[in-house]
Amino acid sequence: VAQQPRFQRLTDPQSQVLNTTQVFIFDCDGVIWRGDRLIDRVPQVLDYLRAQGKRCFFVTNNSTKSRAGYVKKFTSLGLNAEASEIFSSSFAAAAYLDSKNFQATGKKVYVIGEAGIGEELDLLGIPHIGGPADKDKSPRMGPGDKMEVDPDVGAVVVGFDRYFNYYKAQYANLCIRELGAEFIATNTDAVTHLTDAQEWAGNGTMVGAIRGCTQREPTVVGKPSPLMIDYMAHKYGIPKQEICIVGDRLDTDVLFGKSNGTRAILCLSGVTTEQHMRGQSQVVPDYFCDSIADFMTPE
């Protein structure tokens, strides 16, 4: 009997995937868009799947926007999506704190990150400080100076922050080490594709800085942590075997799917090349394809 190849191309989407999948969870950057450019035929594929009764959800590790911010981005690209179909790591951080009933502690969150995290915390009534407001701050460091932090900080959320600075690092350091605040990372992506011309330092940068000074490991709420899949499976009552994760990265998306009991398809429309996929053996998607346009069988 001929052995099945380790990496299988999606050639017959209907029988390989569509017949047995009720819910698709799409990663955003590299699958739906690249930066600000929509990937070819995405609107047609989403219409096609929805016409077959499939539910589509969208998950992004990019914490800079809230779900409301992503609804605007979807609309501006000519795509339909409701806030309830979108899961960003900014939302995951807020939902995680909510699941632990953080509000009842009377504490606040110190935020390293852009607008998205604060917007999501506001929706759940979780008080927060830091974020964009600390953009231009720097600590005084004359003889005898020390930085004072708000004693009511009970958690530090670290997300991607283009205005990350030493003030924020020391604030987070003091909150975590001296107040015992919980260290939460929205995601730990090493690099991101802010522009399609090169790879840019991702949130692994900010998380690495806080890990470095505190010597603590964060709770990661974005992909590949199970939190978002568990949340969706629980909230919408979806059996995990009927879920297929579709993403462009092995270390976040495919791992997110395979370690959570769902199926996973790798699209080569983002950061992973076929050569890179074949050159590693740890994370094996159920199928790979060039892009989600391959979900539609050509007529």
Beta bridge partners of 287: 265
Beta strands in the chain (DSSP E): 23-27, 33-34, 37-38, 55-60, 86-88, 108-112, 128-130, 153-158, 182-185, 191-195, 198-201, 219-220, 243-247, 263-267, 287-289
Decide: is 194 part of the binding site for ligand PLP (CB under 6 A).
yes
Residues touching Ca ion: how many (CB under 5 A)? 4
Give min distance, CB of 252 to ligand PLP, in A: 6
Q: Which does 66 bind (CB under 5 to 8 A by kind): ligand PLP, Ca ion, none?
A: none
Q: Which does 85 bind (CB under 5 to 8 A by kind): ligand PLP, Ca ion, none?
A: none
29 carries an active-site annotation: yes
Closest residue by Cα to residue 110 from 50, 147, 166, 151? 151
286 carries an active-site annotation: no
Decide: is 29 part of the binding site for Ca ion (CB under 5 A).
yes
CA gap 252, 223 in Å, rounded: 5
Catalytic residue among 12, 29, 152, 286: 29
CA atoms 203, 274, 35, 193: torsion sign: positive
Decide: is 85 part of the binding site for ligand PLP (CB under 6 A).
no
Decide: is 248 part of the binding site for Ca ion (CB under 5 A).
yes
Radius of gyration for the alpha carbons in the chain, expressed in angstroms and rounded: 20
Closest residue by Cα to residue 225 from 192, 186, 262? 186
**Residue for token pair 């016409």:** 51
Closest residue by Cα to residue 156 from 185, 132, 133? 185
Decide: is 57 part of the binding site for ligand PLP (CB under 6 A).
no
Positions 30 through 69 that interact with Ca ion (CB under 5 A):
30
Q: Is 156 helix (H, G, I), strand (E, B) or coil?
A: strand
Contact track, ligand PLP, 202-231, x by CB under 6 A:
xx----------------------------
Give min distance, CB of 157 to ligand PLP, in A: 14
Structure tokens at 103: 């509000």
CA gap 250, 271 in Å, rounded: 9
Residue 51: what residue type? A
CA gap 170, 137 in Å, rounded: 11
Structure tokens at 87: 């899961």
Question: Candidates 47-55, 145-153, 187-195, 284-292 — which segment interacts with ligand PLP by CB under 6 A?
Answer: 187-195
Question: Candidates 4-12, 51-59, 91-99, 248-256 — which segment interacts with Ca ion by CB under 5 A?
Answer: 248-256
Give min distance, CB of 27 to ligand PLP, in A: 5
**Using CB under 5 A, which of 24, 27, 160, 277 touches Ca ion?**
27
Decide: is 269 part of the binding site for ligand PLP (CB under 6 A).
no
Closest residue by Cα to residue 211 from 163, 135, 249, 156? 156
Residues touching ligand PLP: how many (CB under 6 A)? 15
Decide: is 189 part of the binding site for Ca ion (CB under 5 A).
no
CA gap 50, 23 in Å, rounded: 10
Question: Candidates 23-31, 76-84, 147-155, 166-174 — which segment interacts with Ca ion by CB under 5 A?
Answer: 23-31
Active site residues: 27, 29
| Binding region for Ca ion (CB under 5 A) | 27, 29-30, 248
| Binding region for ligand PLP (CB under 6 A) | 27-30, 60-62, 64, 160, 189, 192-194, 202-203
